[in-house]
Every structure is written in structure tokens, then in C-alpha cells.
Structure 1
Amino acid sequence: MRVNIFRIIFLILIFFTLFSVYGCIFNKPILTEFQTIDLECGFDKIFIGYYSGALYISYIDSINNEIKFAKSTDNGYSWLTMAIDKCMVMFYVVSLYNLDFELYEGHIYLLYFDSNIEKLKIAKSVDGGLSWSIKILDQFEYSGKIMYGSMKVVGNTIYISCSNSKNPDLIFLKSEDGGENWVETVIDSEGYVGEYNSMAVDGNNIYISYYDSSNSNLKLAKSNDSGETWSIDTIDNEGDVGRTTSIIADKSYIFIIYYDFSNGLIKLAKSTNYGESWSIKQICDGEHHFSFVKNGGNIYMSYVAENSEDCSNDLKLAKSKDLGNSWYFDSIASTGDIGEYSSIVVNGTYIYIAYFDSSNEDLKFVKSDNGGISWR
């Protein structure tokens, strides 16, 4: 049998031509147009949570000055959206209350600062977001606007960490009766402190990571007695670090992911002994919009990184299978300027991410049902 050498050469040339044009499909995921939940809203914050078969997303509509809420009961295929409150919002945080006790199942709390009346507010739903009650924390007098805040709920106890713009202290608020009465404690007042605070509660241990603007350091406030007394440690002082922090505590393990402004890096501070000592690791290049969650021995982080080809923002995923010692990276979406204010939640092999599409000012949603191998 004679072999037509010219035909073979022709086929080889066609193959390499196609590979040079479409070769990216071999090393990048095939991206689709992910689901749009809300159109032309503009966003300052987005939070996503999962509970008992339902997905919840809360977000700020900065165009209409509204706190909004979206809910899906079919794994993200369709969404119900609603406005909870209309006000000028400086910040807000959501806490999905996931206790195993039936009395508290599905309770949702939203914390935000209404700059019209300069008061903190808590919106609460006990029916999965169908209806809401709003409580004004009017017993606190603030000389400035509350700019940063974090909230955790355990049983009937609500914990809040916050700071304001004129008296930049790290403040701790605690209510043991569901928000009726509060005790206020100033944790740190040395310099301009308390920005970008994030809180974790594990039993009687409370941890608050925050930015010390006076010294450009990442700090940690720790209480072993449910907030009665506090100790303060500097975790990282190499450069300008701590502008945006997020913390998770799980028994003796504490994880803080934060932004290194000096070097444009996302970093991880990790303690295995209740915060007595720390190791610091660079995760990746990125910006200060990120969200992370721990699921067993895995850590997942959604984040934004600049696309070197067109300087736009791409939505990416970082995953660690060994509690942060090593990381794997994947591009989720790279069409347009997307990924800001992303929020991530994990349920088994399902990964859900809500994010802001800056190109169109839309709230979007993407999910993976196989641990991040593919997205839709």
C-alpha cells in the first residue's frame, strides 16, 4: 500500500493550524454565559449561603439604594428576588443561621448601616426569606459612619464587630437575647484600627481579624471567654497588609486570608494551636475581592485576578486539599470585566459562586457539581 506523503503533510498542517487557533480549549475550561440573577443594579457587597436544599444570595443594589435578597430552591436554575430595605448603605454583612435545632433552622440575619439615620440595622427572616423584620440598634450613638462590620449568630446570642470613620476603634457588640439588649466593648483604640474586620466564633473562642491602618499591619483580637476579655496580636507586619481580611476558625485551626497591598498578593495566615503561633503563605496574585470557605480538609477561594492580555478582571478559583499547604488554580470566567465581590459556598461536591459582572453591572451566578472540574 502506497502512502500519499503530500496528503499526510496536508493533514498535519491543518491540525497545527487548528491547534494554534483553538488550542486554548485544551488548557482552559469551556466557558458558557453564566446565569444572570439581577440586571443593572451595581453592587458593593454580595453574600451567598446554602441551607437545607436552598440557595440564598443577599446583596446591595447601589443604583437603587436597596438591600436585596435572592433565593433558589432548585439548585440555582431559577431565582426569586426581593428588596428588603431601601436606604443609603455604608456596609452590610449576612449571616445564615444554620443550627441543627428545629426552632432556629433557616433563620437569616442581615447586618447593615443605614447612613440616612446613622444607625445599625438587623434584618431577620425566620421563614427562609419570605418575610423580614428589621430592628434598629438605636442604643448606640456613633460620631461617624460605621464602615466595616461582621456578624455571627450562635443560639440566641448575636456577636458583631465593627468600626466607624471618625473614631476608628475596633468595637465589639454582644446580645444574649436575640438582639433586644446589647453590651458594647472597645477592643482596640490604639491608632486608626478596625477596618476590614472579619469575625469567627468557635465555642467560647471569638477571633476578629482586622487592619491596623496606622501601622499597615494585619492584627487579630482573641477572646477565650465569649467576649469578656480580649488579647491583641500582630499577625503580619511585612509591608502594607490586611486591607480586606476573612477568617475561619475550626477547633484549634484558624485561617485568615487577606490582601497584601504592597505586593498585590492574596496571602494565608494559619494557626494550628488556637492562635498561639502562625505560619504565613502566599497563595497567588490577585485583588482584594475574594471569598473563602472550608469544607472538611479542603479550602476553596473565589477571587479576582487581572487578565494580562486585556487588563480586565477574571473570576478564578483556588483550591487546597491539604488545609492551605498547597494550592491549585482554575479560571472560571474571563469574558468581560467580572468577578468582583464574589462569594462562595460549598455543599459536598457542589460549589456555588455569586459575583458582580462589572461590564454589565449585573449579579451573576455560577456552579460546579464536580468539585470545580467544570462550571455552568
Structure 2
Amino acid sequence: MIKLRFSLPDNRFYLRFRFSETFVSIAKSIPKGSYHPEDKSWSYPNEPTIIKQLLNAFEPHDIRISPKEIPKQCGILEDYFKATRERNFTFCTTKTYYSHLFQLLDFTGKLPANVKMFDLENYLDHLVKERRTKVASVRSSRQAFIFYFREVRKQFTNLKFPRMKTESKLPEVLSAEETKAIFNALPNRKHKMLLLISYSSGLRVSEVIHLKITDIDLTRNMVRVTQGKGKKDRYTVLAASLIDELKEYLKVREYNLLLRESYNEMRANPWLFPGAKNRPLHIRTAESIFTNAAKKAKIQKKVSFHSLRHAFATHLLELGTDLRMIQTLLGHASVRTTQIYTKVARSRLENIISPLDRITNTIEKTNQNKEQKKNK
């Protein structure tokens, strides 16, 4: 077996293999290489061009690597990134698929060209049996492998996996009182406005942090979501009761920006919720804001930032809003996704009478009739 490992003390890569004239010939052909007779290894400087040449030369011979050690400039998954750019994948999808592929290579210690079908099977078994990975994540891994190894590399032209039964879990829904308590737990105007707009418009955390001031239409009480999930634009509602508070927030936002930036820089900052260095607020920061607010409000339910979106949809349904309209506001591609909220909408459940109540009521009426006849 051919192994390539990085040595931090001398900042060099060490190549080891059983004696083979072919392998020795290849090792000699790589520039700046040194042979070490004491442990029969070859070493090379940590230079991306040399390591890339080394990987390309030994790839047909099933070289073993540690992907975390390989310089990014070597581009061991460059064909993947090229394919995602050509297909205009979202940043989120690209990042998720890359994570699955990188973990596979780290598990096998192989370059993509050396991955075999049994490697995929072993890795997926490892996810399920050893790591107890959630079904959704395993399915995402499968999709990443199908895309890369079947569609991009044409390595496994008939690659497919048996269907996995997904877990059907209902979301924990915040009541109106709990939602209000979360808002009231935030003294910071910016943080409070972040959560208010997310709930008011049913936005995902990634959508609300990327809102620009120009996306807010105060005249029509509308919010424009630009390139949401699935790279789709949509409009959603903005609560009329939020308009005055939002105007006050915009003044505070401008003042705070002026404290740290010049007037021209402040004017050039487009984000409704600005972060550092002319960037939007970081997604992790937004999630922490919600988590801390829920903790201060003493919410016992298992909730996350996305719970505001769940609450928006459920509360609208309880108010009698048409399911198709809720689908449009949320930006769901299929109404099936929106239908989950019919299972948690309290008003709809409250209108259903249990058959036990019908039997009990019938028995009680019968007994009352009998008593009335006796009294007569």
C-alpha cells in the first residue's frame, strides 16, 4: 500500500510503499524529493504544486492519504466545485454536499478516483450503525454521492440506493403567549426587530439576515425575499403594527453605523441587520439571539430560530388563512410541506369531537329522558 502523510516538525510530506521499480521511478520523477534509507521513505516539501503532481502520479496506484493534510490548492474535489458552479447550486447545497464528500474521503483515506462501491456502502453503514446519524443526513449523503460519482465523475453509472423511510416528527409550536414572551425578553432593539420581522413574515434565519433595507416596502406592508431557498424570489407580509417600531429601528441602525463608520460607508451598507465589515449579521449570531431570548422567557419546549417560522404558519392557519396562501408566503414548492401545520393547528384540533364524547353525551341524554319519564 502507498501512504502519504504530513510531518509537522519538518513541514514535509512522507511517501512510503513496498519496494517496486515502478513506484521508485515515479518517486524519483517528482521534483525536490529526498530518499531516506533509514525508514525507506521519500519526502517532499509542503508545496501545493509538488503535492498535486505527486497525487496525480500515484492516483492510478491507489494511494492512501489524509484529506485534512492535503493543501486546498491541490483541488482534490475541484471537479465537484466546477460542476456545482455550472449547475448554479446554492451556497448551502454546495457546502453540505462538500462536507459529505470530504467525510467520505477522510473515512476511506482515498482520492475520489480510488473510491469503490463498497467504500460508499461501508461509509453509509458507519453513519447508521456507529454514528447514529439522522435519516435526513444519511439521505443527504446519498444525494451527494449520486451527484458526484454518478453525474459528475461517471464513476458509478448505475449508482442508486434503496429508499429510506423518513421519520415523521411534528414541530414544537410556540403559542402566541410564548412568542410574545420571547420578544419581550429582548431589551436590544436590533435583536428584537430581528425576531419580530422573522415571525411577522415567516422568514428562515438565512432569509432574515440577508434582508436589505430596499427589500422592505413600508407603503404596501410587504417584504421581498430575494433568492430564498431553491433560489426563488417571493413576497410575504409585514405586520402593520410593526411599521412604527421598524422606522424607529432604522434611525437607531443609522446612528449605530455612524459611530463606527463614515457617512458614505453607512450609506453604502445595504443590510437591514448589519454585521461586521459591511456584511450581514452572521447566522450563528442570529440563532444565539433567539436561544438566549427563549431561555430568558423560560420556554420549556425544544425550539430554535426556525420555530418562529413554524409559529407564523400555525397561527395563520388558526386564524383561518387559506393553506395555499400560507404556502405562497412561506415559499414552499409543494402544498404537502405546508400541510404539516394542519396537524398542529390548535383551533382545528379543538373543533374535532372525540367519538367517546359522542357516546357519553348520548348515554347521558338517554338517562335524562328516562328520569323525566319516571318523574311524569
| Structure with a larger share of its residues in strand | 1
| Structure with a larger share of its residues in helix | 2
- The question of a shared fold, defined as TM-score above 0.5 by the shorter chain, is answered with no
TM-score (normalizing by structure 2): 0.21
Q: Which structure has the greater CA radius of gyration? A: 2
TM-score (normalizing by structure 1): 0.21
